[in-house]
Chain A
Amino acid sequence: MTSPAKFIGRSVPRLEDRPLLTGQGRFAADIDFPGQWIMRVVRSPVAHGEIKSIDTREALKLPGVHTAWTAADIAHIPPIGFRLTGLKQLEAYRQPVLAQRYVRYVGEPVAVVFADNQYVAEDAADLVEVSIEPREPTLHASADLGVFDHELTSEAGVVEKAYGDVDAAFAAAHAVVALDLSIGRHTGVPLETRGAIARYDAERDVLEMHGAAKVPHWNRDTLAQMLDRATESVQLYEGHVGGGFGIRGELYPEDVLVCAAALAFKRPIKWIEDRREHLIAANHSRQQHHRIRAAIDAQGHILAIDNEFFHDNGAYMRTHAATVPDLAAAMLPGPYRVPAYRAKGHIRLTNKTPCGTYRAPGRYESTFVRERLIDAIADKVGVDKVEIRRRNLLPKNALPYALGLDTLGTHIVYDSGDYTLLLDKALSAASWDELQSDLKKRRAAGELVGAGIAMFVEKSGLGPFDTVRVEIKPDGAIEVVTGVASIGQGVETAIAQICADTLGVDYKTIAVTHGQTDRIARGMGAFASRVTVMCGEATRLAATKLRKEVLRAAAELMQTGVEALDIVDGEIVRTGGPGPSMPLAELARALPHALSAEDTFESSHMVYPYGVHIAVVRVDAETSGIAIERYMMAYDIGKAVNPKLVEGQIAGGFAQGVGGALYEEFLYDDSGEPLSVTFADYLMPTAREIPETSIILSEDAPSPLNPLGLKGAGEGGVNPVGAAIASAIDDALQRPGAVTQLPVTPQRLKRLLAGRRQSSTT
């Protein structure tokens, strides 16, 4: 980049918007192929049991029904493997593509039918008779161990992480603070349900799967392996994706089934999930129960934390394997100095929907737990919750800070940050002292109002690599090809902004191609807030190479030195002053297919943004409803490529955080029957529940790990919302430590209020 940035750092409009606004999007359900069959999954109605028989005869008699499969028909297909944190011992707990001898959750695929259209397919699925002998379900992860099969128990594994001498610290402590805390079961719930359309092209011997998302290359490689095909004979295509949030785009049994069926029947096979299926079959997340203790000195300094927890992973270990409990264990210490730490996370299986990641996986949970603990320490030593944080925060000069723990195959090293500075900014923006006196007055007048605060360190930019190719086509069009994916977050715009500034063109002239496995050999996809960091830097590297190539070629044609030329607004110009110039398109015409450059960014460490949230809530003693009056989020992401899009990420994450804090929860009855199977039971916030928020986008601590200083922005909006709201509810009730469980539903709050009345009369 020779010229100052024209696009990086500016809130330019998105390149993605126009087709989406005019109904021209291509989502999974919008894809059809002539002669396609529709697949419908028959799912277990029982939480735990042994399959006695599956009878498809009646279903097959229905006109328009072609065939049906049970496990016996696909016995050659292995279970889906692990994409991340795949401990060997967990493999025995993988999910078969169709249930074999046992069913282990309501919603588990036991058979599939194939028919001419969706209506007939659904009729046929209803006619499949499945006979199951029920077994006792295991429904509580922290209760006694249950059984997985005749050999294995319900504890699939244990995540252990530690540093320092925890026992010595507890022995020498001035006091110990111990809490018992739970986080409810909720998940991403993108507005577009899952979908997959497979077809086999016999002429090219290529299996295609459309409707891919998030990690197309890993899914391609895995599908090829599972179906015993050469990697390059399987191609995945990402269209528009209606939200990701961790859940969408992982490899699920249904994806494997459409591909296997397309190969077997030589027909395009289409599967589109309905919402009930989505709520019982796509990954759940978050449910965790912590028993946590802190050893402290007389001033409330943390000496050690001992964190034992039970992770309810549902019925099977899916693609994420131990990722969520691993992150929960590793990220719990947060922005504070914790001299000694020990985590023991029990990965427990229950007869509920299997789990995976959901935006800020392991951190929504561990931030809630840690920040509850910090509030409790404040109460124990009698200082306010801001002061206790100041006492324990890592000082600026401690960074970079090696935490002494690993996660996702990397050592955790907080790369840069000034946590106290961001706390000060947030407090000052919230007028914290005035706010306190105002709330005090209102409480004196009988209102139940209070403020809460939560701090956190996020992680982002997971490697190990991303590759980008930038090409100027003979017609002058510029294309960036990458192996990352778009899940609606604005990838194309952000990447085009970086490419535009590096190359010297308008960002609107750049097309970004992503999620197409036949366009680039490898790619890591979109997860862990990695795209702008990893793909952004790979784009800068590739565009820098291409710029050099352009100037070298232009210098030859224009008979001048490379140093005398620059690229400005897509035009090759002389730096010294007036003189003949040449549009990039003209050069591309002169040198067809020569103007292309590829580069890879490799990184073995993640980058660590950090933030502060402040919540003000009002509790209604009559209805037990909670209104969020004000909410403020300060987030330091090093460098915002497009501030408006970053704010959009934060605001969207916040709404999901509110859902998990107050409304959303997958509940089951005593037999393991799911009770949250529609949007009338699983309550996501609407425009009414989400207040206007204020966001401070801070750039005090650019990452030293990439030249633009980028850190990811996807998960800081959601991470501490449960923690901040819990802290505010405590304050409103004037009962420190009152909230021990998320979500704080009206029923739970009513119990808390009853306790409050009791304690005020005794």
Chain B
Amino acid sequence: MKKTDVIIIGAGPVGLFAVHQLGIKGLKAVVIDNLDKAGGQCIELYPDKPIYDIPAVPECTGEELTKRLIEQIKPFKTELYLNERVEEVHSEKDYWIVKTNNKQEFLAPNIIIAGGVGSFEPRKISLKECEKFEDKSVFYAVRNKDNFKNKNISIFGGGDSALDWALELSKFSKITLIHRRNEFRGAQHTLAEIRKLEQEGKVSIKTPCQIESLENEKELKSITIKYDDGKTEKIPTDVILGFFGLIMKLGPIAEWGLNMDKKTIEVNPKNFETNKKGIFAAGDICSYPGKLKLILSGFHEVALASVECFKRARPNEKYRFEFTTSSKTIQDRLGKK
């Protein structure tokens, strides 16, 4: 079990800035996130979209903002636990214990939940029968492409993931690319390569159509797709790959006994503490009178929460408010001479 001062759930902009606010106060933190990279919604939903309301930064993209925050917290050498979802939170005396789906355990007097709208999970095919084939013949990610050799693969989706995998897997499998409309939003040069393979008979593209049913005995045999005009077509299929993007799910957070308002956690706007002592919430996931879901609001929220975290993590020390411009201690912590 790893012991620290603060466990931060969520590596979006607010979780990352929490590391900074805790770090300058001399507190250690770990960050846990279900995605494979830091940045949260900024990196997953709008990496290329400009943001115009970060103070003193007239314009930057979600990806740039994330990079800068990672740069800003470098001096604190904080460990990021990615690809891990927090499943369980319980208390032991004055401490909180957090368990992840990978069976990692963390112990700390404080938790800051900066979980946005919840953890990102792949959107699934709406056809119910697909459920029982999940991870057998229906997949929403390719972890090891060797498992996809010499198969009949039906790929659903119109974005980059669908196009990239159609191209890649066509090297050793028979690919049918299926999309609900004629336009693909993925990179057009990838699409051009796939169209070429289509002419050579190596890939088939089916649009505009959606999945109608599965045919199986023990194993998946084929699928039936339905075109917009009502026609249907059967396609021999061993493997279905669905790339419909990600959806945010609140997940286990709802079961930790915190006071909730719909999908948000109620906090005291004085220190952003929830109804549980030592559990804080900041960013999009918290609610209080007048709450705005802005990145800058989240920055303010973690600054205040970090003070309360200090008091709980260092009960025998007195908290002193200090400025980064003048405090030698803070400058030391930032590695500045």
Whether A and B are associated in the same complex: the answer reads no
List residues of chain A with CB under 8 Å of any chain B CB. none
